[in-house]
Structure 1
Amino acid sequence: MNFPGPTPRRIRASGPSALTVPAAVAVLVSALVGVGIDPAVVHAQSSCDGTHFVASWTAAPTDSVTPLDAWGQPTPLTVDDQTFRMIITPHLAGTQLRVHLTNRFGLTPVTFDRVSIGNQVSGPVVGDIAPVKFDGRTSITVPAGSDVTSDPIAFTVGSFAPLAVSIHVSGAAGPPTKHWNANATSYYSPHGSGDLTAQPASHQFSSTTGAWFYVQALDVSAPASTRAVVAFGDSITDGFVGATALSVPADRAVADTNGRYPDLLQRRLDAANVPISVVNAGIGSNRVLTSGEPLLLGPSGLSRFQRDALDRAGVAAVLVQEGINDLGLPPAPDVAAMIAGYEQLIAAAHRSGKKIWLGTLLPASDALVDGVLLAPRSETDRQQINIWIRTQNRADGVVDFDAALRDPADPAVLQQIYSSPDRLHPSPAGYRAMADTIDLTMLTDTRSPAC
């Protein structure tokens, strides 16, 4: 089973040609065989030399037409000669990077007239501004449904040091592709305010947003032994903390704290000096089987798995924790359909030569959303799915988030300390417990795609 979703065209940036590599490898192998050396031995000894690009930060595109962000603030439905200053926080440090921008859900082509990157000083104030180019040009027009990758940029980024990606859109365009719940504060200027990408500070960045517009990923050049792990899922992976019993709006107090479980897992890896970058491909309200376009739910997990997870730079493995929205939002599938969906994700990862781990589903029987109001019978299905996740042997490992966060006195609900007010999403303490549940040796038992 697969579900239709937009298949973006990627506009590739220029760079050193790789066309001569296969021929060079063939000559080398022939020479090694001729002198009696096993090429496999040489590969094992030298395969992790050099560098490659690794995803340092990602945000899965959700939509373009949802009129409010997760804080309840309006989002632009048209764009015209204005600048977006998006604040992102990379996980992997380095001195050369490239930026991915997206018009995946745009209704019209969009011209990125100027793009820059800089270190956030405070709010919309930035320093060390550097231009971003595409095939050597400062401007590029991206068709609707497409993504674009920049040329490599010499720029030093630090782990958890926030960056500002400033994007000037010249002329008129339709609604910007976005990631609906950024859990971070970004800025943009009004229509007609022009190119502010080279301005360290400007009072014209008069609007704030809790969404990310246009920016999709940041890659960093790293040693070939460095790899990325994608955390793939719904709002729980995305780090949503509900402020009310109905979940929305998101709790603004957690913005800019980088308290999502993938962020906290990254802190653990950094402390252990493990060369892995954990990037986030969570989408609020996302489902494994059913697409939610054109609204913020995004394409189904099955239809977006390749481009949002497997295609990211340097990815060696994916950790999937998704399914509670399938049970809680119509049309609700049966357990067999859910298991078949997980099996498709596992098969896709293995076809790509990547590992995949499954996380158990968290309890939500007392939540209004995905619980008593919308899915009063989902607990039985959740238990059956979790039994299958724990006992199956197709995935490369299991993370038992459910066992870590459920209430010992009532396993059908979250422990109070680990729950947001909505009883569906974890609290900041719950996200920390999720990160602490993951066995780091499971993550380190992966090889870089460059090795």
Structure 2
Amino acid sequence: MALYRFTRRSLFAATLALVLPLGFIGPVHAKTAQSQWVTVWSTAQMTPGADSALSPADATDATLRQTIRVAKGGDMIRLRLSNAMGTDPLSLRNVHVARTTIAGASTIDPATDHPVTFGGLSDIVIPAGADYISDPISITVADQSVLAISFHMPAGLPQQQTGHPGSRTTSWLVHGDHVSDAELPEAKKFDHWFTIAGLDIENGSARAALVAFGDSITDGYGIKPNSDSRWPDFLGRRMKDKRVSVLNAGIGGNRLLLDGLGPNAQARFDRDVLSQSGVRYVIVLEGVNDLGMLTRDGPVTQAAHDDLVARLKAAYLQMITKAHSHGLKIYGGTITPFMGMDYYHPDALNEADRQAVNSWIRTSGAFDAVIDFDAALRDPAQPNRLSPVYDSGDHLHPSSAGYQAMAEAVDLKLFEN
């Protein structure tokens, strides 16, 4: 009979052989007790409409390069890609990340070009409805710097695509695999994001994340592409001396109670807020589209108005409960004026609904604090309207000056670490 002598080392190796699957690659990054990942850029995922989706011909055997501005920097990042809305698997190959050299252009610094792997793989298939988080990538990123994310789509995108049409940021598409090209001069250009969902930094200049959760006012409707002049952008620059990254989870046309352009706010709260790494704070600015859509096609009864106000309050309470159960501070933003807006043509009853909701936000004590965007933007002479100084012209969306005023209305003491 053969005798076997097991040392601690050989016993450990034998145990690993039993529990690890064949083909296990091994850790690509040793996590220490001090490791802390914080999301420093993210965008809310939705299904692009017909006017913003990529055609099968465009998306097949093509390189897509997209740029993002990260709120805070560091030396180790990881990327999150999404097929959340897809009903079929998403195949990608040769994902790369690099620093850009010219704002608003496809040009990258080749010396900073890094391949991105996922469990050691450079070619990935993301299942329908899933997100993939990359292995850590060693690259130095400064606060407020711009990164380019490039990947090759060998077989196109799923029939139901995943992305963020309101990127207000230029992306580039060219056929073939050109992920490491210094520039893409012949590329097709458009202002939409696809598949990219988030970027985390480990032990960088952020210790916590703040999510700005809202509709088109948060998404930055009306700003010039590549100007980074949404109110969360202005707020992020105000936070330069704080170790908090500001994330934009706005979707144009979003509603609290019903799906519109993108999933309703309650349905996406877990993905767009709670799943962000290091999230500690959230500002909610939602509800104007619910108020406007109630009577867009015609008047409704007073009972319907009262019911809408009650259900909006209940929706806020659901998000507050979720945030508190995850240890987050949640701040309520008052709904800004929209009287005179042609699409919704609000009347006195809609304004009464807005006032009722805002009164509850201000006085109920349900939120941890209140950010009075209404007071910041309203016209003192006509409080049911945006101030002309802050009105983009459609009487709903703020101008660039209005977005800056919104950021100035946020008390930075709410984010003390």
TM-score where L is the length of structure 2: 0.86
2-structure distance, mates of 1:14, 1:419: 52
1:188 corresponds to 2:173? yes
Given residue 93 of structure 1, which amino acid in structure 2 is its aligned partner? G
Q: How far off its partner does 1:423 sit? A: 1.0
Matches within 5 A, 1:196-215: 196-204=178-186, 206-215=187-196
Which position in structure 2 is the counterpart of 1:352? 326
Q: Name which of 65, 78, 95 aligns with 1:85.
A: 65
CA contact (8 A) 2:83 2:162 kept: yes
2-structure distance, mates of 1:414, 1:178: 31
2-structure distance, mates of 1:163, 1:339: 39
TM-score where L is the length of structure 1: 0.79
- How big is each residue's C-alpha offset from its partner over 1:268-319, in whole Å with a ceiling of 9 and x where there is no partner? 110xx11110111011100111123xxxx11111011011001101000111
Which position in structure 1 is the counterpart of 2:14? none
Q: How far off its partner does 1:200 sit? A: 1.2
Q: How far off its partner does 1:195 sit? A: 1.2
2-structure distance, mates of 1:173, 1:263: 30
Which position in structure 2 is the counterpart of 1:283? 251
Which position in structure 2 is the counterpart of 1:68? 51
Q: How far off its partner does 1:17 sit? A: 7.7
Which position in structure 2 is the counterpart of 1:257? 227
CA contact (8 A) 2:45 2:164 kept: yes
Aligned-residue Cα RMSD (Å) equals 2.1
Partner SS state of residue 231, structure 1: strand
Partner SS state of residue 398, structure 1: strand
Given residue 71 of structure 2, which amino acid in structure 1 is its aligned partner? H
Q: Name which of 255, 266, 271 aligns with 1:307.
A: 271
2-structure distance, mates of 1:381, 1:330: 10
Q: Aligned pair count?
A: 376
Q: Name which of 200, 203, 216 aligns with 1:219.
A: 200
> Any stretches of 5+ residues in structure 1 without a counterpart?
1-12, 22-48, 242-250
1-structure distance, mates of 2:70, 2:210: 14
1-structure distance, mates of 2:73, 2:327: 25
1:371 corresponds to 2:335? no
1-structure distance, mates of 2:45, 2:87: 14
Which position in structure 2 is the counterpart of 1:232? 213
Change (3 A) 1:371 1:75: farther
Which position in structure 1 is the counterpart of 2:286? 322
2-structure distance, mates of 1:83, 1:376: 51
2-structure distance, mates of 1:423, 1:225: 36
Change (3 A) 1:68 1:95: same
CA contact (8 A) 1:92 1:159 kept: yes
Given residue 380 of structure 1, which amino acid in structure 2 is its aligned partner? A
2-structure distance, mates of 1:100, 1:17: 19
- How big is each residue's C-alpha offset from its partner over 1:38-76, in whole Å with a ceiling of 9 and x where there is no partner? xxxxxxxxxxx8331111111101213x1224xxxx743
Partner SS state of residue 370, structure 1: coil
1:52 corresponds to 2:26? no
Matches within 5 A, 1:19-30: none
Matches within 5 A, 1:96-245: 96-122=76-102, 123-127=105-109, 128-175=112-159, 176-189=161-174, 193-204=175-186, 206-222=187-203, 226-241=207-222
Q: How far off its partner does 1:80 sit? A: 1.0
1-structure distance, mates of 2:366, 2:169: 36
Q: Percent identity?
A: 38
CA contact (8 A) 1:114 1:197 kept: yes
1-structure distance, mates of 2:276, 2:242: 19
CA contact (8 A) 2:167 2:192 kept: yes
Q: How far off its partner does 1:394 sit? A: 1.7
Which position in structure 2 is the counterpart of 1:30? none
Partner SS state of residue 374, structure 2: helix
CA contact (8 A) 2:362 2:370 kept: yes
CA contact (8 A) 1:370 1:424 kept: no
Which position in structure 2 is the counterpart of 1:416? 388
Partner SS state of residue 344, structure 1: helix
- How big is each residue's C-alpha offset from its partner over 1:4-52, in whole Å with a ceiling of 9 and x where there is no partner? xxxxxxxxx966688xx9xxxxxxxxxxxxxxxxxxxxxxxxxxx8331
